[in-house]
């Protein structure tokens, strides 16, 4: 039995920041030693034209990003308050839309699976959803925390496992990220790059056994920890937010490691890589998309959906893959699909969908 994804809903903070808006914020939070030309070059190379950042929704448009860069910006507690205030209404909005689009009654949901690596509070997203969407108070709750950009795969895989174990289960999945709560106020190049790439967004899905004949269905999921990569990507709790480490070798590691891994998955399912109709590649940045395409010898068109979401929304961590999958559904891209995402470790997660 292959569980079905009955719906995908996506939302983000209201204010759309253009690239010029973003560069103004990025320069404001950077130390004086970071020349405006550096910020501009990174923005031009990012592949991002617009993004949403919760802190920019303040009345003056930038109150959260006006802290003294020499002091490291807001402390972690203040950043967590921004995360909680921003993520709660977005998670509820996405969850409600996912239920309505699926035609599933809130009272029929048996499980809630949430994912976030950008904030924590208890009671958290799962209980907010139960309260505000009037889900059954007996819902079983699972949180996928601090796994990074690939956590949508983990959350969807958990939901599919619940449905396989109990075909009567109906699971609401919500991936909620306020990455901009952790903008770095220093001059380290990898953190300036992280600032340039990350943005905010929330996505939700409903997973069940039943569904229409054309429903998107799980075939399998897979994971890999890439050799020699543990120092290349990390995400740690610091005194001024969560601190990102991005190594320069990430694209090279993906270029060498993704192809053999994914071809092995497809071979076990007797699927030729050229027969895959759609590739949902998490856009860690333009070079990540390029590296995956090269590793699998894919044509540039297979990265179009990922580049479009990166261009219009930025990298929203775990929510991004669901944004891409929804866009692929809307475009009617033929199946099977492969969804790929990568996070600290470097860990890779894959979904095969039909």
Can you give the residue ranges of every domain in the chain? 4-208, 216-353
Give the model's pLDDT for residue 56: 83
**Residue 63 DSSP label:** G
Which overall architecture, per CATH, does domain 216-353 show? 3-Layer(aba) Sandwich (3.40)
N residues, the chain: 354
End-to-end CA distance of the chain: 12
With H, G, I as helix, E, B as strand and everything else as coil, classify residue 140.
strand
Q: Show the tokens assigned to 272.
A: 């030729």
Tokens linked to 70:
């020499």
Considering only CA atoms, give the Rg of the chain.
19
> Can you state the angle between helices 151-165 and 320-331, rounded to 10 degrees?
70
Smallest Cα–Cα separation from 339: which of 210, 101, 155, 66?
A: 155
CA dist., res. 199 & res. 196, Å (int)? 9
Cis before 113 (ω within 30): no
Number of C-alpha atoms within 13 angstroms, CB side, residue 127? 6
DSSP 335: S
Q: How far apart are CA 20 and CA 25, in angstroms?
A: 9
pTM of structure = 0.96
**Phi/psi of residue 189, nearest 5 degrees:** -60, -45
Contact 328, 280 (CB under 8 A): yes
User: So what's the pLDDT on residue 58?
Assistant: 63
Task: Write out the chain's pLDDT in tens, 354 residues.
Answer: 899 999 999 999 998 999 999 998 898 888 889 999 999 999 999 999 999 999 887 655 566 777 666 678 899 999 999 999 999 999 999 999 999 999 999 999 999 999 999 999 999 999 999 999 999 999 999 999 999 999 999 999 999 999 999 999 999 999 999 999 999 998 999 999 999 999 999 999 999 999 999 999 999 999 999 988 988 999 999 999 999 999 999 999 999 999 999 999 999 999 999 999 999 999 999 999 999 999 999 999 999 999 999 999 999 999 999 999 999 999 999 999 999 999 999 999 999 999
* CATH number belonging to domain 4-208: 3.40.47.10
Per the omega criterion (within 30 degrees of 0), is the bond before 123 cis? Answer: yes
Contact 205, 144 (CB under 8 A): no
């Amino acid at each position: 039995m292959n569980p079905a994804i009955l719906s995908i809903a996506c939302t983000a903070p209201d204010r759309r920041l253009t690239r010029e808006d973003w560069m103004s914020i990025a320069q404001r939070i950077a130390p004086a030693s970071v020349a405006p030309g550096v910020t501009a070059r990174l923005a031009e190379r990012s592949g991002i034209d617009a993004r949403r950042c919760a802190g920019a929704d303040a009345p003056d448009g930038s109150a959260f990003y006006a802290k003294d860069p020499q002091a490291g910006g807001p402390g972690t507690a203040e950043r967590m308050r921004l995360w909680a205030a921003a993520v709660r209404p977005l998670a509820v909005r996405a969850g409600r839309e996912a239920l309505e689009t699926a035609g599933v009654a809130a009272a029929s949901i048996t499980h809630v699976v949430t994912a976030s690596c950008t904030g924590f509070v208890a009671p958290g997203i799962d209980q907010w959803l139960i309260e505000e969407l009037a889900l059954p108070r007996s819902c079983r709750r699972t949180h996928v925390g601090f796994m990074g950009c690939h956590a949508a795969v983990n959350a969807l895989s958990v939901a599919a496992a619940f449905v396989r174990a109990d075909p009567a289960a109906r699971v609401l999945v919500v991936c909620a990220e306020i990455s901009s709560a952790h903008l770095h106020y220093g001059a380290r190049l990898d953190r300036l790059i992280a600032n340039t790439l990350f943005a905010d967004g929330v996505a939700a899905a409903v997973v069940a056994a039943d569904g229409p004949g054309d429903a998107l269905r799980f075939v399998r999921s897979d994971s890999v920890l890439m050799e020699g990569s543990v120092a290349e990507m990390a995400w740690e709790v610091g005194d001024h937010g969560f601190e990102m480490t991005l190594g320069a070798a990430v694209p090279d590691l993906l270029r060498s490691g993704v192809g053999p891994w994914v071809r092995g998955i497809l071979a076990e399912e007797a699927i030729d890589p050229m027969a895959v109709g759609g590739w949902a590649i998490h856009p860690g940045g333009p070079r990540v998309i390029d590296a995956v395409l090269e590793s699998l010898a894919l044509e540039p068109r297979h990265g179009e959906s990922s580049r479009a979401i990166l261009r219009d929304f930025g990298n929203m961590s775990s929510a991004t893959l669901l944004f891409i999958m929804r866009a692929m559904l809307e475009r009617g891209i033929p199946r099977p699909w492969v969804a790929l995402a990568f996070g600290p470790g470097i860990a890779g997660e894959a979904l095969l969908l039909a």
